[in-house]
Amino acid sequence: MPVNYADYRDIDIDAMDAVVVGSGFAGSVVAQQLAERRDMKVLIIEKRPHIGGNMYDEHDEAGILVHRYGPHIFHTNNQRAFHYLRQFSGWLGYQHHVLADLHGEYMPVPFNLNSMDMAFGPEKAERLAAKMIERFGEGARVTLSELRAEEDPELSEVADFVYDNVFLYYTQKQWGQTPDEIDPSVTARVPVLLSRDNRYFQDTYQGMPDKGYTALFEAMLDHPNITVCLNTEAESVFDLEFSGDEEDAPLSAIKLHGKEFTGPIVYTGPLDELFLARFGRLPYRSLDFVYETYDVEHKLPCGTVNYTVSEDYTRITEFKYLTGQSAPNTTIMKEYSRAYEDPDAQIPYYAILSDENRAHYERYRALTDSLPNFHPLGRLAEYRYYNMDWIVALALELADRIIEGEGAAA
């Protein structure tokens, strides 16, 4: 049976036990769990013309399977998330590799002992590596800020090289910031690996769904209890009621088709959109993607090349490496980071984390705390970055709580 799509106007809301807004991993996992484990009838409201959220992929005009919202590679140490997803797809054992383009020379990232050979020549690199291993241990993952704090001038030289050639320009492009504006926590996360493992991720489970993500979502939502309404915005079908007239008055009920909905409502969109930006828009970075197709088998040496010292795009991805597709031609995608200025034309991709923005978000969040059946979940509703596996794990936990009847306290 395929996914059950319907027009929102035809939905009998009395027949629904739960409403889920958004069909990315956050929404789809909860919907699937409630439908399968508790036989609940679940309505999914999705504003895009397709399911799968940012994981959506499709074949382009040249027949190449491409990701439409940025390259997505699955990697995790979370057994539950991995075993859960295995039910819905076969998996290709793909291991992602990323190279930094330093004016035409390719260097492995994260920066590791192989990168060190290239940066400093084998002789000096050997000495530096021995020093770093003695200090931090073989195989250690040292952060750039830890390295920058070292007093040894040779270790500072390594830190400066990574900062100048791998980190600075890329981060400036990504966040639209000057070096002074970059939050120290961003530098703190940049790793230097004291190993020769050239893989981008070191997680236990890594791979790609063998028929793509959209097919995986179709399998997940192919359930007689799940109905999906595409092209439907929550704010256009939710009728919100508040406990007072003032701006900060909390939410007291959500009506659909004129009736209060008392079952679980899992909301995975941005909270500012739901409340029509009454406290102003939450700041995000957006992205533009430019696709190019070539009549060659491969255009890049690996899945992704980061442009860390040149170009105005941040990175290029060649999908065939990720998806395992073989074809005589190939499609690559250039990624440009942009300010998020127009919610009608742009997608919010990355929450811009700062104390001020967090407080701004919390003001929206406080409006929802009073409604026990309302559950904000996911990268948008929680205004933070999550990898796919974290979201799958959190969605499974929320489904557990709803099923166990603890949803009201969540």
Which parts of this chain interact with ligand FAD (CB under 6 A)? 21-27, 45-48, 53-54, 70-73, 233-235, 268-270, 273, 287, 349, 378-380, 386-389, 391
One-character DSSP codes across 248-290: TPPEEEEEETTEE--S-EEE-S-HHHHTTTTT-PPPEEEEEEE
- What amino acid is encoded at 205 in this protein? Y
> Which sign, positive or negative, has the C-alpha torsion 127, 129, 132, 136?
negative
Our CB check for ligand FAD shows the closer of 57 and 273 to be 273
Query: Quick check: 80 and 238 in contact, CB under 8 A?
Result: no
Taking the complex as a whole, the smallest distance from the CB of residue 325 to ligand FAD amounts, in Å, to 17
CA–CA separation, 218 and 204 (whole Å): 26
Widest pairwise Cα distance in the chain? 74
- φ, ψ for residue 316 (rounded to 5)? -125, 135
DSSP 27: H
Our CB check for ligand FAD shows the closer of 49 and 328 to be 49
Our CB check for ligand FAD shows the closer of 100 and 395 to be 395
CA–CA separation, 224 and 34 (whole Å): 12
Taking the complex as a whole, the smallest distance from the CB of residue 232 to ligand FAD amounts, in Å, to 6
Listed in sequence order, the residues at least 6 apart from 146 whose beta carbon sits closer than 8 Å to its beta carbon are 136
Taking the complex as a whole, the smallest distance from the CB of residue 264 to ligand FAD amounts, in Å, to 16
Our CB check for ligand FAD shows the closer of 349 and 374 to be 349
Place of tokens 């106007």: 9
Could you give the angle at the alpha carbon of 109 between the alpha carbons of 183 and 340, nearest 5°?
45
Our CB check for ligand FAD shows the closer of 233 and 397 to be 233
Taking the complex as a whole, the smallest distance from the CB of residue 287 to ligand FAD amounts, in Å, to 6
Taking the complex as a whole, the smallest distance from the CB of residue 189 to ligand FAD amounts, in Å, to 15
Taking the complex as a whole, the smallest distance from the CB of residue 96 to ligand FAD amounts, in Å, to 8
Our CB check for ligand FAD shows the closer of 129 and 331 to be 331
